[in-house]
Amino acid sequence: MKDVKKDFPLLARHPGLAYLDSACTSLKPAKVIEAEASYYSELGACAGRSSHRLGREASSAVESARENVASFVGAGTEEIVWTRNATEALNIVAYGLDYSKRKKVVTSALEHHAVLLPFMDLRERGIIRLEIAGCDDRGHVSEETWAKAIDRDTALVVTNNGNNTSGVGQCTKNLARITHDSGALICIDGAQGVPHHRTGFRKDNFDFLCFSAHKMLGPTGIGALAMKKEQMARLQPLVRGGGTVKTVSLSRVEPVSDYTRFEAGVQHYSGMIGFAAACEYLKAYGMENVEAHEKALAAGMRKELEAAGAIIHGPIDAQRSALYSFNIKGAKPHDVALMLDREGIAVRSGFFCAQPAMEAMGAKDGAVRASAYIYNDLADIGRLGEAIVKIKGLYG
Ligand SMILES: Cc1ncc(COP(=O)(O)O)c(C=O)c1O
């Protein structure tokens, strides 16, 4: 296991902290923090607008950041739209598509609220028919279930390539094939997949891929939507305004046809530069090393949780990122999280913005979630195990 703790200033400021809440948001290495700050100390100007030297330099920094983030997910530079986060990217797809010819959207019970809510809203307003593929009580949707739900009235299939309640991925490449065989489009919620394993936007033939920088060592407030060029021309933007048009008269607007159509208003330039630095950091670390590191942490976590007698939610044996949701019999999840906090262990408790998923997996009152990343080691996981044994002792 590579020791990268020293790269993360927050860990030096909080020695003894076992940060196990990376599925909520990850810590940032110094290189990302410096890159983000460099925009303010070195560039400072608007990108894509002003023709003075600083404006040109800001534009070139933003476009090189776009190239960097695109290549990280195997997309073309011209296929990346900046967004605030994965949530905004998902909303752009949901509200921008044309459902006049095909009315059905297929998703699953295991999605984050960022997926469910916009499509439930469209269903409420009679704009789409929503089919929600069910899962078994361990939180698995079979390929047959997906295939049965996707038909020739389906406009869009939307699902994750990494689940935030269990850390388990699914074969989105096969799902893309099944979707395209029916003439539908596929949108992948990559918020929890992109940070943890190599994602191939073009290779796996996705139409849309939504992800957030802050879950992959980057800044908050910046994310991306990768989208095929033909969709770029068809999708309606969610926000309109400055920077998205060729010409405007009071009777007519001529919009641009590329990604800038979706980037109205002055943007989060420092975030884009920080996002690119996070991709650089992960590339240098190696995504295969991220996977191997997390595999070892997940195995350790499972061992500790089982030995402590915790109730694990979600698939047990499936390949996953270093994430487990669990409960301690008789204890409220929030109480467990607060007791862990007293031991210097940061975890999340509740429904993790995926209440239907947690309920489907039998966690009717929510659960505790421990999620590790590259800056954690087996000592952090061992401390989690010891603390759980201690807490379990209090509940008999
Ligand atoms: C699976 C999944 N999708 C979408 C999101 C939304 O991400 P963001 O809050 O960065 O928009 C999250 C955040 O936790 C998530 O875990």
**DSSP string covering 9-35, please?**
HHHHHSTT-EE-BTTT-----HHHHHH
250 Cα to the center of ligand 1, angstroms: 39
Ligand 1 in contact with 85 (CB < 6 A)? yes
Cα end-to-end distance, the chain, whole Å: 36
353 has catalytic annotation: yes
Residue pair 70/77 in contact (Cβ under 8 Å)? The answer is yes
Answer yes or no: are the C-beta atoms of 364 and 304 closer than 8 Å: no
Q: Which of 189, 197, 210, 320 to mutate to test the pocket of ligand 1 (most atoms within 8 A of CB)?
A: 189
pLDDT at 133: 96
HEC-encoded secondary structure of 282-334:
HHHHCHHHHHHHHHHHHHHHHHHHHHHCCEEECCCCCCECCEEEEECCCCCHH
Whether 172 is in the pocket of ligand 1, judged by its Cβ within 6 Å, is no
Ligand 1 atom with least separation from CA of 352: 14
- Residue pair 276/61 in contact (Cβ under 8 Å)? The answer is no
Q: Are strands 348-350 and 367-371 parallel, antiparallel or unpaired?
A: antiparallel
Burial label for 75, CB within 10 Å (0-12, 13-18, 19+), is buried
Q: Which percentage of the chain shows pLDDT scores above 70?
A: 100
Could you tell which of 90, 113, 164 is best to mutate to test the pocket of ligand 1, judged by most ligand atoms within 8 Å of the CB? Answer: 164
Ligand 1: centre distance to CA 392 (Å):
30
Q: How confident is the model at residue 3 (pLDDT cuts 50, 70, 90)?
A: confident
Question: Per-residue pLDDT tens for 174-191?
Answer: 999 999 999 999 999 999
Ligand 1 pocket, residue 228 CB under 6 Å: no
Q: Which of 46, 187, 279, 353 is catalytic?
A: 353
- Is pLDDT at 396 greater than 80 in this prediction? no
**Which tokens belong to 158?**
């939307």
Task: Map tokens 């007698």 to a residue.
Answer: 309
The DSSP secondary-structure symbol of 168 reads: B
Res. 1: pLDDT tops 80? no
**Average predicted confidence (pLDDT) for the chain:** 96
Q: Is 87 in the pocket of ligand 1 (CB under 6 A)?
A: yes
5-20+286-394: CATH, from 3.90.1150.10, 3.40.50.10310, 3.40.630.30, 2.60.40.10? 3.90.1150.10
* Per-residue pLDDT band at 370 (split at 50, 70, 90): very high
Q: Which atom of ligand 1 is nearest to the CA of 87?
A: 11
For the domain spanning 31-284, the CATH number is 3.40.640.10
Q: What is the mean pLDDT of residues 7-30?
A: 97
Q: Give residue-wise pLDDT tens across range 102-124.
A: 999 999 999 999 999 999 999 99
- Nearest ligand 1 atom, CA 89: 11
Helix (H, G, I), strand (E, B) or coil at 129: strand
Q: Write out pLDDT tens, residues 66-94.
A: 999 999 999 999 999 999 999 999 999 99
361/110 Cα distance (integer angstroms): 9
* Atom 9, ligand 1: residue with shortest CA distance: 87
Q: What percentage of the chain has pLDDT greater than the value 90?
A: 96
From the CA of 189, give the closest atom in ligand 1. Answer: 3
Question: How much distance in Å is there from the Cα of 224 to the middle of ligand 1?
Answer: 12
- Residue 289 C-beta-side C-alpha neighbours within 13 Å: 12
* The domains spanning 5-20+286-394 and 31-284 adopt the same CATH topology: no
pLDDT at residue 233, rounded to an integer: 87
Can you tell me the mean pLDDT for 230-245?
93
Residue spans per domain, the chain: 5-20+286-394, 31-284
Q: How does pLDDT run across 254-285, given as a tens digit for each residue? A: 999 899 999 999 999 999 999 999 999 999 99
Q: Is 192 in the pocket of ligand 1 (CB under 6 A)?
A: yes
Residue 116's pLDDT is 98
**pTM of the full structure:** 0.97
The pLDDT tens digits for 377-387 are 999 999 999 99
Quick check: 348 pLDDT over 80? yes
